[in-house]
Structure 1
Amino acid sequence: MDGATTVGFVSILPPLIAIVLAFWTRDTILSLAIACVVGVLMAGEGLLGFPNLMKEALGNASFSWIFLLEIFIGILIAFFQRTGAIQSFTDIISNKNYSRKRIGMSTWFMGLFVFFSDYFSPVFVGSTMRKVTDKVKISREKLAYICDSTSAPVSVIVPITGWAVFISGLLIGMGPIQNEAAALDVFTKSIPFNFYAVFSVLLVGLVTSGIIKDFGPMKKAEKRAITEGKLIRDNSDPLISKELTNIAPYFEDKLLSITWNFFMPVLLIIVIAVGTYIGLGSAKTMEAFLAAAIFLGIVMRVQGIPVKDIMDTAMNGIKGIMPAVMILVFAYTINELSEQMGTANYLVQVTESWLNPGLLPAITFLLAALISFSTGTSWGTFGIMIPIAVPLAFSFAGGDVNTVVLATIAAVAGGGVFGDHCSPLSDTTILASTGAAVDHIDHCRTQIPYAVVVGVIGLCIYLALGLLV
């Protein structure tokens, strides 16, 4: 199979099966596995095609990178708990007697601050604030929503992130854009037109402040947490195992220095990630987490924790992160299958004949949203849609950078974030569920209504803009 071609309508069935089964059975791993096997059979590869597909999907630098990132995240969270760092941070916040609304707003602000990595943000904010939000009875679903909606949506509207560099790089050579500086300038000008990302971030602030009341499944989750004290649904399956959530501090009678055991590792992550982005043009997030884990492991030994206990804690961290890793394994596999079957190409083929200057931003946003939701990848969506939609926008604009061009670029970016933001196949959605320690499908179910509302608003604005061009 060749990703440049498509097998037609059949190509959308594997991701569709995965998503429907995931919401129906609430078992994401099983649903993804079934969808992969069915897709391989549909493609005529036979059962032996399944292990071959997994080798192709997982035997690459991209999966190795996120696999190692997850491992180091698990180890660091375990170290935080074994040293009592999370408990110390919780005690500091708790002593302030902040209200439920204040805690929610603080979580939102923390997500806005950690803008440089959509991988780091949801795990860091979720694992750091979880005990604090638990204490004021904010549901884990709400915490995951806050973490998720301040990761990818923020990263794509800040012009100094890896997202900006990636999208800008795709624009070079289109119309009058001939170099990196011109591409970044055009991307920056398109940010105000990225209505989905901007409104997604604003909606979190409005919801956490109470200006907009919770609705849909999130309203039920919040009511359950407040009235029954149940932070997660009965019989739910949090996307983080007990090995990682039940780690007690090593010293029961004292908590170790929060400066060395929490703030210094976090500062190290930020310095390495931001420093490498500025110096090398790419944030070395995985390397930052590795350095922080090694640093904290050394600090733990200096503070008197035995080497065997440190290693056992690290292993518990790895075990605890495995549920998320398994979902990533099958998500990458089904994404590879979708690419081979030409899922995105099929969606483009059935819609490109409708395009005209007025409808281009709206159709582009809708198509990018469908592709990203069905494949779980925003960057993959950017790579597919920008080479198709942006040259078409320039042709409508006579080669100039006008509103149609800027709105089309923003529509691709916003539509790509939509799926990355709420698809059960998305790695950042998985990381948000991991950080909040909540059932992955519960997180998706409660977040999708908010995403859809913002998506509809963005779509309507793009349609209105189309009437003006």
Structure 2
Amino acid sequence: MEAIHAGIFSIVPPVLAIILALLTKDVVFSLLMGILSGTIIYTILAGLNPLVAPVEVLFNTSFANLDLYIIFFVFLLGALVQVISLSGGSAAYGRWGSRYLRSRRSTLLATAGLGCLIFVDDYFNCLTVGTVMKPLTDRQKISRAKLAYLIDSTSAPVCIIAPISSWAGAVGSSLRATGSFASDFSAFCATIPYNLYALLTLLMIVFLIFTGWDFGPMRKQEEMSAASTAPDDTARQAESPCKSGTVTDMVLPIVLLIVLAMLGMLYNGGFWAAGEPGYHSLTGALNNCTAAQALCWGGFGAVLFAFLLYVPRGLITFKEFMACVTEGFKNMIPANSILVLAWTISGLCRDQLLTAEFVRDAMTRSQIPGALLPAIIFVVAAFLSFSIGSSWGTFGILIPIIVPVATALSPNLLIVSLSATLGGSIFGDHCSPISDTTILSSTGAGCDHLTHVATQIPYALLVAGCCLFGYLVAGFSDGNLLLMFGATLAALISLITIMHFSCQKHAVSLPKEI
């Protein structure tokens, strides 16, 4: 399937899918329509059979972009959650955690802290944090939308500033391909202090937790949850335990999942491989690992361990265990369906090089003033990543363009421009309806996908607007880090305060802190 340059038509499939999702509230239908529009555009421009080719291109693209390891991992995690819940382990863990996390604030801080600790891979983060923290956040009547926001905000934004992560390897490979840096790892580390979107997202989480100043749709979800009328009450009741499991019955399978996944990443990353120079280090192995494969191994090992932990003791019968596995698989079908469709529409754009060529032409033909370069790059990266739902795809497209453009126009702003590229790429991964981590965050939290998107977008847009201001300051101050960060942080705090007081008169009081 050859690449087609479609110009402005390249953004039609993802934009159409996003608009339909927001209008119809049906993600699957919206993604299918977006994909179909893309295959029709490709068929027309390539001069193929208009009756057969759209469907042929659809399935070719879909199968080419499937990540079966992630699909199986999601299924296995669904099964693990189900059997842990039936054993009574989740309820016991909730009762135990409530002794130490006695307020909303402490529970939210613990959730955010756990998300920051699991920085190796974003998929791993999204599903693990939700599984561990759901029983505790439910007991504090924290909405599932808020939990999904915390999970999503501590996955990609944390991974992109963690030198030891699968993301560092992906960015490093793109930097290495430009041939402009003596050390791609050092170049990646240099971008961290200037990655405003990632840093401000984390600071916003802390500020919101301590002040409780939620606004917009998130405020409404929190008020509904505090009044015990949230739409996810039914889901919470469904998690009621049927057995007399203990905290150990929940903690051990989850810990084993984490340990096996980490060991799997080191193994397939070549940590113990013979004759592989550069792989015999923690950083090298994690940068070269196949995270999805390791997660699948860890998920299978955790489910098998849960079987050996529960069934021989009589806590769960064999039939109950297998019924839970089947039910867990069923529960994850919607999430996997959305994932497959999201991968397809993202792959459709990448495989045809539609968006890539459109952005490349726009960047190379325009005469950009050097001082405006970081801000413009941030906007372009944010728009592109939101459209295709992939941060890796975005910085994979943009970094080879940005490095020569920044070197020619404003060499002293090269690192700032790269940081703007990474930060803008994270924006789409953080909040796009068709982003895989957005989908997995809502899945891990047990939150409706579009509810998660609607409640998170105002927060993400607020941070993105402050980042745009920050990169303008950086451009005109010749990359002054303190001035850039100080101005951006002041703008963020000011805007959150304004948003809070503007809607306070209509707010319902949330539970008091203990």
TM-score, length-scaled by structure 2: 0.82
> Cα deviation per residue 1:278-328 (whole Å; 9 max; x = unaligned)?
423324222222221222122222222332222111110000001101111
Larger CA deviation: 151-160 vs 276-285: 276-285
User: 8 Å contact 2:390–2:428 — kept in the other structure?
Assistant: yes
CA–CA separation in structure 2 for the residues paired with 1:173 and 1:396: 20
Q: What is the deviation of 1:233? A: 7.3
Residue of 260, 271, 276 corresponding to 1:272: 260
Larger CA deviation: 216-225 vs 418-427: 216-225
CA–CA separation in structure 2 for the residues paired with 1:342 and 1:86: 47
The yes-or-no answer on 1:460 pairing with 2:469 is yes
- Note the 1:384-399 alignment, pairs <5 A: 384-396=397-409
Larger CA deviation: 320-329 vs 352-361: 352-361
CA–CA separation in structure 2 for the residues paired with 1:288 and 1:61: 23
User: 8 Å contact 1:122–1:147 — kept in the other structure?
Assistant: yes
Residue of 310, 325, 328 corresponding to 2:321: 310
CA–CA separation in structure 2 for the residues paired with 1:81 and 1:337: 39
> Cα deviation per residue 1:141-185 (whole Å; 9 max; x = unaligned)?
11111111011100111100000111012111535424xxx1111
1:345 maps to what in 2? 357
1:177 maps to what in 2? 181
CA–CA separation in structure 1 for the residues paired with 2:430 and 2:203: 15
2:109 maps to what in 1? 105
2:17 maps to what in 1? 18
CA–CA separation in structure 2 for the residues paired with 1:300 and 1:425: 37
The yes-or-no answer on 1:144 pairing with 2:132 is no
Residue of 250, 258, 261 corresponding to 1:262: 250
2:209 maps to what in 1? 208
Residue of 365, 370, 380 corresponding to 1:367: 380
2:396 maps to what in 1? 383
Q: What is the deviation of 1:270? A: 2.3
SS at match of 1:158: coil
**Structure 1: runs of 5 or more not aligned:** none
- Note the 1:105-144 alignment, pairs <5 A: 105-144=109-148
Larger CA deviation: 159-168 vs 31-40: 31-40
Residue of 298, 301, 304 corresponding to 1:294: 304
Amino acid at match of 1:10: F
Larger CA deviation: 121-130 vs 274-283: 274-283
Q: What is the deviation of 1:49? A: 3.4
Q: What is the deviation of 1:50? A: 4.3
Q: What is the deviation of 1:194? A: 0.2
Residue of 336, 343, 346 corresponding to 1:335: 346
CA–CA separation in structure 1 for the residues paired with 2:377 and 2:105: 37
CA–CA separation in structure 2 for the residues paired with 1:418 and 1:323: 24
SS at match of 1:172: helix
Residue of 412, 415, 420 corresponding to 2:421: 412
TM-score, length-scaled by structure 1: 0.89
Q: Cα–Cα, structure 1 residues 332 and 49, in superposed 2: closer, same or farther, change >3 Å?
A: farther
CA–CA separation in structure 2 for the residues paired with 1:185 and 1:269: 32
Q: What is the deviation of 1:109? A: 1.2
User: 8 Å contact 2:254–2:302 — kept in the other structure?
Assistant: yes
CA–CA separation in structure 1 for the residues paired with 2:237 and 2:18: 28
Amino acid at match of 2:306: L
**Structure 2: runs of 5 or more not aligned:** 272-284, 479-514
Q: Cα–Cα, structure 1 residues 201 and 97, in superposed 2: closer, same or farther, change >3 Å?
A: closer
RMSD of the alignment, in Å?
2.3
Q: Cα–Cα, structure 1 residues 159 and 341, in superposed 2: closer, same or farther, change >3 Å?
A: closer
2:444 maps to what in 1? 435
Q: Cα–Cα, structure 1 residues 2 and 453, in superposed 2: closer, same or farther, change >3 Å?
A: farther
User: 8 Å contact 1:56–1:336 — kept in the other structure?
Assistant: no
Identity of aligned residues (%): 36
Residue of 315, 319, 334 corresponding to 1:323: 334
Q: Cα–Cα, structure 1 residues 25 and 125, in superposed 2: closer, same or farther, change >3 Å?
A: same
User: 8 Å contact 1:40–1:47 — kept in the other structure?
Assistant: no
CA–CA separation in structure 1 for the residues paired with 2:71 and 2:229: 31
> Cα deviation per residue 1:95-147 (whole Å; 9 max; x = unaligned)?
34611222112211111112212112122222322232222221111111111
Q: What is the deviation of 1:334? A: 1.4
Where relative contact order (Cα < 8 A, 6+ residues apart) is larger, the structure is 1
2:508 maps to what in 1? none
Q: What is the deviation of 1:274? A: 3.0
Residue of 227, 243, 246 corresponding to 2:238: 246
Amino acid at match of 2:337: M
CA–CA separation in structure 1 for the residues paired with 2:337 and 2:242: 29
Count matched residues. Answer: 448
> Cα deviation per residue 1:430-450 (whole Å; 9 max; x = unaligned)?
011111111111111110111
